[in-house]
Amino acid sequence: MANSRYDLVVIGSGPGGYVAAIRASQLKMRVAVIERDRPGGVCLNWGCIPSKALLNSAAVMDTIRGASKEHGIEVGEVRFDFTKVIARSRAAAEKLSKGVLYLLKKNKIDYFEADAVITGPHTVSLAPVEGKSAPQAAALEAERILIATGSGERLFPGMKVGDGVITSKEALVLDTMPASVVVIGAGAIGLEFGYFYSAFGAKVTIVEIEKQMLPGFDAEVAEELRRAFVKRGVTVMLGHGYKSMVRKGGLWSVAVTANGAEKSIDAEVVLVAVGRTPLSQNIGLEKIGVELERGGFIKINDSFQTTVASIYSIGDVVRPPLLAHKASAEGIAAVEIMAGVREPGFDLLAIPGCIYCEPEVATVGLSEADAKARGIEVKVGKFPFRAIGKAVAIGETVGFVKIVATKQYGEVIGCQIIGHAATDIISEVVLGKTLETTTAEIGKTAHPHPTMSEAIMQAALAADGEAIDF
């Protein structure tokens, strides 16, 4: 291995770490990346990519099952090999993980498979990972260090994974289809896996302590999604908090409470999806003076610097939202600020959030309730997919687009979409928000017909009282 002195050492090779490393290399920095698991981090190996492969399989199952009823296409009895479903998702993860390693090599970035501990403002020690070869250096020196260690699955106190108790990570390698599943938590992860298991025929119950699915999201979107889940046969228990669970034969009996009353749900598998926790422990932060905030998140300033000037941090380990594309955008911003080609600052409201169940959910910026809570006078345009020609033609009429804009100027400050392909068409509004677009500009922009994106144009027109088709 080459000299162990670097301009930048990145700890973590997830979508924040490897993207930051490549951008730093483009900016003529000498870069090393340290990863203890696999290239690509959680997202590529245990999160975004394999889970979306599974959700694609679920969507195919939905399509096949609806072929006769919706399209008049006879397909006979529908059967599946769940082992192959899981294997396909793992193959996608493996392919992209290898792709990350290729990109690092292509950009002349040194890659170390090791456990990293920061021992000083400019030094990182490397230790062997159990079951893997010893790293090619005992320590690295760097002008700057970037922490991109991400987040891990959260469990309730006293809860252990195993014997049918799983998190999203175990769900990705569970090669036997459970007959029944209790999902604790109705956030993005819980809903995606709830949809996945229901599409393959499992009896699914979703438990959420808050009064709506997707706590913190637009209430109308959450209610539309709840109705869609109930329609597909999922039991949704809102306002119910997890209390305990006990093994009864081959099932788990999960006790939940609501308004002082206790209920129990029996299921073969319990999927715990109650959030994620930042991986800020056991990397030496306390000893060198890097401060943590509530919840274990690393404290940073507008330049992504921690309380130690030479140490920076990005992604899940610093703050919500815990999203891969946010980590990538922060990684690019951090190294460009280091290189002096970008001003400090980062707009979290420009980061879209996407949920890949069916119907999909996508949001950016402020909801109507958020804007009003900030004292912003708004106008709102809402348009249903049932009035969109493409949606009717393909049988995907559930959901709507909702645009939130300032009342005075019509500047778009937020958008919420629930419906088929929501996670793709949100990008138009994300770009528009970056360019400080208005409802008038979107409304007067010709959209191709027939497309799902026409709903964005019509929602913008609706905000100005000019919607044509509804």
Annotate 134-149 with DSSP letters as a single string. Answer: PPS-SEEEEEEEEE--
Q: Which distant-in-sequence residues (6+ apart) come within 8 Å of 440 by Cβ?
A: 410, 460, 464
Q: Using CA atoms, how far apart are residues 468 and 380, in angstroms rounded to an integer?
A: 16
Q: Using CA atoms, how far apart are residues 303 and 81, in angstroms rounded to an integer?
A: 49
Q: Using CA atoms, how far apart are residues 426 and 430, in angstroms rounded to an integer?
A: 6
Annotated catalytic residue 447: no
- Of 223, 263, 217, whose CA–CA distance to 240 is shortest? 263
Which of the residues 240, 420, 447, 449 is marked catalytic?
449
Specify whether the CB–CB gap between 344 and 176 falls below 8 A: no
Specify whether the CB–CB gap between 187 and 275 falls below 8 A: yes
Q: Using CA atoms, how far apart are residues 385 and 163, in angstroms rounded to an integer?
A: 43
- Of 441, 434, 380, 426, whose CA–CA distance to 406 is shortest? 380
Residues β-bridged to residue 120: 123
Whole-number Cα distances in Å, 430 to 31, 41, 380, 422, 456: 31, 26, 17, 12, 12
Show the 3-state SS of 310-374: CEEECHHHCCCCCCHHHHHHHHHHHHHHHCCCCCCCCCHHHCCEEECCCCEEEEEECCHHHHHHC
Q: Is 435 exposed, middle or buried (0-12, 13-18, 19+ CB in 10 A)?
A: exposed
Report residue 156 as tokens. Answer: 């309730």
User: Across 46-149, where does the E strand assignment appear?
Assistant: 110-113, 115-120, 123-127, 139-147
Q: Which residues are catalytic?
A: 449
